[in-house]
Structure 1
Amino acid sequence: MQFAHDTEMALASAAALVNTQANGPRSVEELPDVAALDAFIDEWGWTGARTHDELELAHVRALRPRLREVWSRDKDGVVEVVNDLLARSHALPQLVKHDGWDYHLHATTSDAPLATRMAVEAAMALADVVRSDELERLRVCAADDCEDLLVDLSKNRSRRYCDAGCGNRVNVAAYRARRSADG
């Protein structure tokens, strides 16, 4: 199953946003201040109005636990979160074209608060995941010491590790364990 480009980007950015929250033994808060939020927004290409203040940062941080819930819920639970995010944001879907992107779906105006736009983009992408019956693509990293989220967009649904280097670290540890057992 291939999703539309904007859906894939929204899913990936939602997981990346949740992963900025300190969660688990090896993680740290990756949005400690407005400058870090600015860097995150630039990295993921978010457009639209910004206030660049502590309140905006607080609203974006507050979105993370709600999005994290999606990765641990069944279909009905995901639908509940998606519908809540869309209703609270007064979403009004519309096709738009901007910044080199062809027509894609937005459900807020570009002057809506950043956290609202992020919530709605994630909710719209998650709605596509539910409608396509592809919830198994939303995973938690398989490394024992990592709780980061990932979106498996591989054709064969084989991705198990997040982007933080866990797959390489686990494979190296397994190799070393095999070598010491042989030695």
Structure 2
Amino acid sequence: MLFAHDTECGLIAAAGLVNTADGDQEGLPDVAALDEFFTAHGWTGRHEHTEAELRSVRELRPRLRRIWHADTDGVVTIVNGLLRESNALPQLIRHDDEPYHLHAVPRDAPLATRMAVEAAMAVADLVRAGELSRLRICDHPDCDNVLVDLSKNRSRRFCDAGCGNRAAVTAYRARKAAAHS
């Protein structure tokens, strides 16, 4: 299934944001880290560079994480809540040399609001396409990061934190040990 560019970007950014809350390791420790996240995920529009904005973005993460653990009805409840609370009104927009795509809140809305709505709109596309199974938890036993499987054959199992490499090394070592026994 081919998803619209803004859907894929919204899903990847949502997973990336969720994964910044990693138990002991804070992935958004300060405003500078939020600035880097903002740039890395191609966000545009209002960005205040404040502690208050950072707190708002951090507060969004647990709510988005629940999407990866909910059944379809639960996902719909979360998505509808995010859209309703943000007074989302989808409109086609073109900016920054990007083709037309959907924005559901103004570009000057608070960053956390825009992140919530972009994630909700992207997940809504997955629900409509019957593709929620593309939202997964990393298969590595020591990882609870989330991921979005956008591969054609739906085969992605590991997050972007190097878990696939760790699993391959573990399997290799197990094969070597078995061969020497």
Query: Normalization by structure 1: what TM-score?
Result: 0.97
Residue of structure 2 in register with 1:9 after alignment: 9
Residue of structure 2 in register with 1:43 after alignment: 40
Task: Say whether 1:52 aligns with 2:49.
Answer: yes
Q: Shift of the alpha carbon at 1:137?
A: 0.2
Residue of structure 1 in register with 2:173 after alignment: 176
Q: How does 1:1-183 map to 2 (within 5 A)?
A: 1-23=1-23, 28-183=25-180
Q: Aligned partners of 1:22 and 1:169: how far apart in 2?
A: 18
User: Is the partner of 1:98 in helix, strand or coil?
Assistant: coil
Return 5+ residue gaps in structure 2 as ranges: none
User: What is the RMSD computed on CA atoms of the aligned residues?
Assistant: 0.7
Q: Which runs of 4+ in 1 moved over 4 A?
A: none
Q: What code does the residue aligned with 2:73 have?
A: D
User: Is the partner of 2:101 in helix, strand or coil?
Assistant: strand
Identity %: 64
Return 5+ residue gaps in structure 1 as ranges: none
Cα offsets for 1:63-84 (capped at 9, x unmatched): 0000000000000000000000
Q: Shift of the alpha carbon at 1:22?
A: 2.0
Query: Normalization by structure 2: what TM-score?
Result: 0.98
